Structure 1
Amino acid sequence: MQIRPFLLALTLAFSGAQTAFAKEPARQVAVEPELSAIDDYGSAAEQLVDQALEYLGVRYRFGGTSPETGLDCSGLVLNVFRNAIGFDLPRTAAEMSRMGDKIGRQDLKPGDLVFFNTMRRTFSHVGIYLGDGKFVHAPSSGGRVRIEAISSSYWSKRFNGARRLVDDSSDTATDGLGIIR
């Protein structure tokens, strides 16, 4: 048995239980027995997903950039990218939305950034796509970093787009870390 798919399945199951206690309407995340999409991603994306899962349960704090004191959505993403692959991102979701390659919802791969309109302005919220229709994010005041389904009614209505900042495939021009420049 491979450990990483097992741990991810366990994490996804746990996050579904956490979601039931959130302020927003409950959004159960179904755990798929096969995590084939997650098994196939490359090294930089794998590092991003692994690092993002390390932050599950960290409390939300507006403007937060430290896991010790709390993270907001962009604080989570910039910590993940810095600690996983040594890449510093801009501070806000809106600034992050102008980086990398624009991609469609149907083309999402683990490690992609997903953006939402949660404050009546585009690109006001950001998360990291994990695969199998799920993303990790720091939700809002009173919440904790958690995993949710993009297809839930709340997130689906607010989806603004996605960007690919890393690409492990050989057909994309990247630097040595897989960062799209």
Structure 2
Amino acid sequence: MNKQTFIKKAAIISISAAMGLGTLLAVAPTPQAEAATASTYAVSKGQQVVNFGKKYLGTPYKFGASTSTTKVFDCSSFTKHIFKQFGVNLPRTSAQQSKVGVAVSKSNLKPGDLVFFSSGSRANGKNVTHVAVYAGNGKILHTYGKPGVTISNLNSGTWKKTYLKARRVL
């Protein structure tokens, strides 16, 4: 390679590197953008949990279902299973699950939050007897009775009347 060709190639490489660095600096995230990304992460991870859980729609309900199967679920084995896929190890029962994470108001629910109810034959209006995952837009993903894993409306019927509290575990 002659001296003139070498100088041309070196100049092209230098200009390309400078342009690349300039572009890199121009798109470097600001602290505000990093904070927004961090807060968005929890929402997107919650949505990932919901999306994973939806793969089980229609899976039959069985009270006391083993946590080692995905052929049937009860409400808490379902939440335990889907959250485990995302590194969250929940306790076995809905009552135990209602004590982990941080409390969140009904008005601040985000996809992936656990929501708790006092419903069914063991309900007294105070004790937790059922757990679901908030799916967004006023919907919950859960399993109970005949429909098995299903999506229900949090703000109507049984679920509105028996709602107790919510917890964020992500």
TM > 0.5: yes
TM-score when normalising by structure 2: 0.69
CA 1:115–1:57: 2 relative to 1, 3 Å: same
1:80-116 alpha-carbon deviations (Å, 9 max, x no partner): 0012x12211000000000011111101000000000
Determine if the alignment matches structure 1 residue 137 to structure 2 residue 138.
no
Q: Does the residue aligned with 1:71 lie in a helix, a strand or coil?
A: coil
TM-score when normalising by structure 1: 0.65
RMSD over equivalenced CA pairs, Å: 1.7
Count of aligned pairs: 125
Q: Amino acid of the residue matched to residue 118 of structure 2?
A: N
Q: Amino acid of the residue matched to residue 135 of structure 2?
A: L
* Greater helix share, structure number: 2
1:137–1:145 CA contact under 8 A, matched in 2: yes
Whole-Å Cα distance in 2 between the matches of residues 50 and 88 of structure 1?
18
Whole-Å Cα distance in 1 between the matches of residues 60 and 88 of structure 2?
23
Gap runs ≥5 in structure 1: 1-38, 167-181
State the match for 2:123 in structure 1. Answer: 120
Among 154, 157, 169, the residue aligned to 1:150:
154
2:102–2:168 CA contact under 8 A, matched in 1: yes
Which runs of structure 2 are paired with 1:69-88 in the superposition (5 Å)? 70-83=72-85, 85-88=86-89
Q: Which has the larger radius of gyration?
A: 2
Q: Does the residue aligned with 2:148 lie in a helix, a strand or coil?
A: coil
Whole-Å Cα distance in 2 between the matches of residues 155 and 124 of structure 1?
12
Whole-Å Cα distance in 1 between the matches of residues 81 and 150 of structure 2?
15
Whole-Å Cα distance in 2 between the matches of residues 135 and 99 of structure 1?
19
